């Protein structure tokens, strides 16, 4: 359909003026300051050309339960809205600015009133995207902007932003032109969809039209279909939720079996009558145990469901005592507390597989537990898989019988066999639009070497996946002073404590998990001073503005 300028015709949405990409942003999933919520809303501006894949910008992480996937690959927000917000809610200028709503793309002239469902835009020379639906604001915005009604205000005002699916991939950069190529639903602006989504919530005739609207996202179609079938949904949970607390549940140790001289299998069974569900991709759980319940560790789930699952745990005599306690003191029949870690949905699995020409797993020791389930799944599918498994000896190779032997190479240190990354990791050559994906889990030295090689070789971040477990480290060292920018408070971090411990003692709720610098959960912003970075969870770009509070330390005085 050709473009029309008949914006004055009844029902037709106006055409957006010519526009330019003002900002291009990506972000990592991390805790939202001071509350027990994980989100990728804090995104950083990116300079230079940035690759757009079928599921979004390379390096942009997404909470896949409600965000991300093909129909929410990119989020755009109208930059002009920030002036309106600052007029309505003065004093939050540091929050209401470009990037505040976690958008990937910012432009000044495009808005919910002149952008329609199904609109096809070209960005720069190569990338073609299509509007799939408006964003539905949730309670995380209340925490982001420090105002308990922002999510509801965003919804009622219609200043929500919108999502795109990617039709043609390529590279974009700040300053690229954004051009409307085709309009297939000229009467269905985003603001008109929002009218029936949020205000006229009982218009059956319109809902019947919307469930058949071309290019409207499956999520939106599902909402309107549910209204036809069951009536209007309750929006209060989405708008007013006050966080996602960590829920610890009792589990009994059903069995403990020696797999190798160093590694044992732990089978845990739920002691509550909860709905049984499957784990997703790369799941882990946190366990709380010890004489006073004062130990907490994170472990990958080897197999099972939420009612009964297996952990594989290596005894580390140089650790902080967690693995030793579990090996020596936790007995069959004992009860410990367990909380779920990440449990990725099928959409995240789809993201990984969409980009892969080959799956290359690089594993050191007990790191096999992080990938065993994924290797088993992929081995049953028509995809190319390689497994490279480095162990102290073949007697120390846990779960070897569950690996595809025809696709697995063992590197036994006691036999002089070395895993040489440069001989394993190929160049990131594109084959029919896909590249290899490299997965790595093992000791810090292996992780760092793999990270350096893939970075130097030009692998996009979306094609390298790390599951971290750590060498022993405590976050202790030379004392330093910390000024907390948000409160003006100053705290001292003594030699025997980590920054995470001191912040927790001072009443700050900093979420944490692995406590050895591998998962990134305890990451905090830092603004000034020198930091001695430890752990492997941050890349070099992130280290410019973040630090891991469980292991990294300041030098002298820092501001966070």
The three state secondary structure string of 37-104 is CEECCCCEECCCCEEEECCEECCCCCCCCCCCCHHHCEEEEECCHHHHHHHHCCCCCCCCCCCCCCCC
Residue 558 in tokens:
């820092």
pTM of the model: 0.53
Mean pLDDT by 10 residues, the chain (560 residues): 36 93 88 60 89 92 62 95 91 86 96 97 96 91 79 92 96 96 96 93 91 93 87 76 60 95 94 75 82 76 91 82 88 89 44 70 93 91 93 93 94 94 91 84 86 89 72 63 88 85 78 63 85 77 84 91
- Give Cβ neighbours of residue 456 (< 8 Å, ≥ 6 apart): none
Q: Which helix (H) or strand (E) holds 350?
A: helix 346-354
Contact between 123 and 172 (Cβ < 8 Å): yes
Taking the CA atoms of the chain, what radius of gyration do you get in angstroms?
Answer: 25
Q: DSSP 3-state assignment of 6?
A: coil
Instruction: Please report the pLDDT score of residue 3 as a whole number.
Output: 41
167-181 residue pLDDT tens: 999 999 999 999 999
Distances (CA, A) of 221 to 138, 154, 274, 304: 19, 21, 30, 34
The Cα 512–Cα 521 span in angstroms is 5
pLDDT at 16: 95
At residue 209, the pLDDT reads 93
Predicted pLDDT at 187: 96
CA 224/CA 232 separation, integer angstroms: 9
For the chain, domains (ranges, CATH) are: 19-240 (2.40.33.20), 249-340 (2.40.30.10), 356-466 (3.40.50.80), 480-559 (3.10.20.30)
Tell me if 439 sits within 8 A of 465, measured CB to CB.
Answer: yes
Residue 463: what are its φ and ψ, rounded to 5°? -105, 15
Backbone phi and psi for residue 531, each to the nearest 5 degrees, phi listed first: -125, 135
**For the chain, the helix, strand and coil percentages under 3-state DSSP, each to the nearest 5:** 25, 30, 45
Output the CA–CA distances (angstroms, integers) from residue 50 to 24, 40, 101, in the order listed: 8, 18, 20
């Amino acid at each position: 359909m050709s473009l029309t300028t008949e914006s004055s015709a009844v029902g037709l949405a106006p055409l957006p003026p010519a526009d330019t990409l003002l900002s291009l942003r990506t972000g990592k999933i991390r805790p939202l300051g001071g509350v027990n919520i994980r989100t990728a809303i804090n995104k950083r501006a990116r300079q230079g050309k940035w690759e757009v894949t079928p599921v979004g910008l390379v390096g942009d992480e997404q909470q896949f339960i409600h965000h991300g996937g093909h129909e929410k690959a990119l989020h755009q927000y109208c930059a002009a809205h920030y002036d309106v917000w600052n007029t309505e809610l003065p004093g939050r200028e540091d929050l209401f600015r470009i990037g505040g709503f976690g958008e990937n793309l910012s432009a000044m002239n495009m808005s919910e009133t002149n952008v329609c469902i199904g609109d096809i835009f070209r960005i720069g020379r190569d990338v073609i995207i299509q509007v799939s639906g408006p964003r539905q604001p949730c309670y995380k915005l209340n925490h982001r902007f420090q105002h308990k009604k922002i999510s509801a205000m965003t919804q009622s005002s219609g200043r929500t932003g919108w999502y795109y699916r990617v039709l043609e991939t390529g590279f974009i950069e700040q300053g690229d032109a954004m051009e409307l190529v085709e309009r297939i639903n000229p009467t269905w602006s985003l603001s008109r969809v929002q009218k029936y989504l949020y205000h006229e919530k009982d218009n059956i005739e319109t809902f019947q039209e919307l469930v058949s609207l071309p290019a409207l996202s499956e999520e939106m179609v599902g909402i309107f279909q549910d209204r036809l079938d069951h009536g209007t949904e309750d929006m209060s949970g989405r708008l007013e939720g006050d966080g996602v607390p960590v829920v610890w549940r009792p589990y009994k140790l059903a069995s403990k079996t020696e797999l190798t001289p160093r590694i044992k299998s732990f089978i845990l069974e739920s002691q509550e009558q909860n709905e049984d569900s499957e784990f997703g991709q790369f799941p882990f759980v946190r366990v709380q145990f010890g004489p006073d319940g004062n130990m907490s560790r994170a472990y990958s789930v080897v197999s099972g469901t939420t009612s009964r699952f297996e952990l594989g745990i290596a005894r580390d005599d140089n650790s902080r005592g967690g693995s030793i306690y579990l090996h020596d003191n936790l007995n069959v029949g004992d009860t410990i507390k367990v909380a779920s870690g990440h449990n990725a949905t099928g959409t995240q699995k789809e993201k990984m597989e969409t980009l892969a020409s080959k799956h290359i797993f690089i594993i050191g020791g007990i790191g096999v537990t992080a990938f065993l389930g994924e290797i088993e799944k992929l081995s049953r599918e028509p995809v190319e898989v390689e497994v490279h498994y480095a162990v102290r000896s073949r007697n120390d190779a846990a779960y070897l019988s569950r690996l595809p032997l025809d696709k697995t190479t063992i590197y036994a240190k006691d036999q002089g066999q070395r895993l040489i990354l440069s001989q394993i990791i190929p160049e990131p050559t594109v084959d029919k639009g896909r590249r290899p994906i490299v997965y790595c889990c093992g000791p810090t030295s292996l992780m760092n070497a793999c990270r350096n090689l893939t970075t130097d070789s030009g692998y996009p971040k979306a094609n390298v996946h790390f599951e971290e477990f750590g060498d022993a480290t405590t976050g202790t060292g030379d004392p330093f002073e910390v000024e907390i920018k948000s409160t003006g408070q100053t705290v001292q971090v003594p030699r025997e404590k980590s920054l995470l411990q001191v912040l927790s003692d001072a009443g700050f709720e900093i979420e944490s998990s692995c406590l050895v610098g591998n998962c990134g959960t305890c990451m905090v912003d830092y603004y000034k001073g020198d930091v001695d970075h430890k752990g492997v969870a941050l890349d070099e770009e992130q280290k410019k503005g973040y630090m891991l509070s469980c292991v990294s330390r300041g030098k002298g005085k820092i501001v966070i």
